[in-house]
Amino acid sequence: MASTNQSPFYKKAEEKFLNAKDDEERLFYLDEMIRECPKHKSSEAMLANLKTRRIKLVEKIERIKKSKKSSGKPGIKKADMQAVLIGFTNSGKSAILTKLTNAHPLISPYPFTTQTEEIGTMSYQGIQVQIIDQPSLKNENFDIGLINNTDLVLIVVTKISEIQEIQKYLQRTKAKQIIIFNKTDLLTSDEKRKIQASLQSKKYNFVMVSTMDNNEGINELKEKIISSFNFLRIYLKEPGKNPSNTPMILKPEATIADVAQKISKQLLASISEVHIWGPSSKFPNQRVGLLHKLKDKDIVEFKTR
C-alpha cells in the first residue's frame, strides 16, 4: 500500500511503527496511522487494510498474554522433570541453583539480584532435572505461573516463620514441595538442632543446607529432588560383574518384563533366569519371575539361553 501521497504526520507515524521495539508500541503507532489516514474515497482501501492489521495485532498481543498466564514464560520449555525455586530475596536461591546445576546466575548480598528466570540442568546418577530460579517473592517479575505449572517446588528459607508466608503462594499448585533451610553455616550447633527438631515436629519434607561450608546437605537435597519424582531407578548387572553406575528409568509399578522389553525385544524372548537385589527382594540374589514388581534402586541380573 503506497503511502507516498500521505501527510507528513502519517509518514512519521509509519516510520515509528516500522522501528517499534515491540507489539505494544506497534499498536500505538498503528492507531496514529489510522488517525492520520485521510478519510476520503481514494484511501478507503488503505484505511480498511490498516484496520485489519490492527485487529490481527491485537489478537497476537492477547494470544501472547494468555500463553504467558497459562504456561509460564513462552521462553521456557518445560522438561519432563522440572523443579522451581521460590523464596524471599537473599535466601540464597541463586546460590543453590549453582550448587545443583550447570547454571551461573548472579549471586549477591544485595536484594533482588535475580530479575529474570535462570534455567539449569541437574544431572544426578544419570537423570536430568530442569531447575528454574526466578525473581524473589515481592519482586515485580516473580511469576506465579511457573509455580502453578511445575512438578516440584523448592521452598528456600532462612527462618522457620518464612515457611507459612510462602505457603500462601502455593495454594494453586499441585506440585510436591521440599523445604530447603539454607545458610546453616551461620547457626550454632545448638540452633541447628532446635530448627531441625521444629521442622521434624511439623512433619515437613525438608533438608538443611549450606552453599558455603563444605556444601552441607546439598547431596541430600539432590537425592530428595530425584526421589520426589515418581519413577524407578533400576541398575542392571551382568553375571559375575558389578551393577552399572547409571540406572534405567522406569515408570512406577514396572515389572521385570518391562525392564527386559526396554532393553530389547529379543532379550525378553531369551531370558532363562532373573535374579534381583535391593528393596523389592526378600533376600539378595532372589530368583524372580517376569511379572515381579520392582522398586526404586533394585538391581536386576538377566541370564539368557
Ligand X SMILES: Nc1nc2c(ncn2[C@@H]2O[C@H](COP(=O)(O)OP(=O)(O)OP(=O)(O)O)[C@@H](O)[C@H]2O)c(=O)[nH]1
Chain residues 67-96 in contact with ligand X, contact rule CB under 6 A: 87, 89-95
State the Cα–Cα distance between residues 301 and 218, nearest whole angstrom.
Answer: 32
Chain residues 178-237 in contact with ligand X, contact rule CB under 6 A: 182-183, 185-186, 210-212
CB-CB contact of 169 with 198 (8 Å): no
> Pattern of binders to ligand X over 15-34, x per CB under 6 A?
--------------------
Distance in Å, CB of 166 to ligand X, minimum: 12
Read off the C-alpha cell for 176. 510436591
Closer to Mg ion at the Cβ: 113 or 255?
Answer: 113
Closer to Mg ion at the Cβ: 94 or 280?
Answer: 94
CB-CB contact of 10 with 36 (8 Å): yes
Which does residue 280 touch among Mg ion, ligand X, none (CB within 5 to 8 A, set by kind)? none
Q: Does 134 bind Mg ion (CB under 5 A)?
A: no
Chain residues 87-116 in contact with Mg ion, contact rule CB under 5 A: 94, 113-114
Angle between helices 44-71 and 23-36 (to 10 degrees): 160
Closer to ligand X at the Cβ: 95 or 299?
Answer: 95
Residue 154: which of 247, 90, 83 has the closest Cα?
A: 83
Left, alpha or beta for 29 (phi > 0: left; psi -120 to 50: alpha)?
A: alpha
Distance in Å, CB of 94 to ligand X, minimum: 3
In the block, cell 492507531 appears at 31
Q: Does 99 bind ligand X (CB under 6 A)?
A: no
Q: Does 109 bind ligand X (CB under 6 A)?
A: yes
Which does residue 173 touch among ligand X, Mg ion, none (CB within 5 to 8 A, set by kind)? none
Residue length of the chain: 305
State the Cα–Cα distance between residues 255 and 257, nearest whole angstrom.
Answer: 5
CB-CB contact of 114 with 86 (8 Å): no
Closer to ligand X at the Cβ: 59 or 220?
Answer: 220
Read off the C-alpha cell for 275. 535374579
Q: Within 10 A of 165 (CB to CB), how many other CB atoms are there?
A: 12
Q: Which residues bind ligand X (CB under 6 A)?
A: 87, 89-95, 107-109, 111-114, 136, 182-183, 185-186, 210-212
Q: Which residues bind Mg ion (CB under 5 A)?
A: 94, 113-114
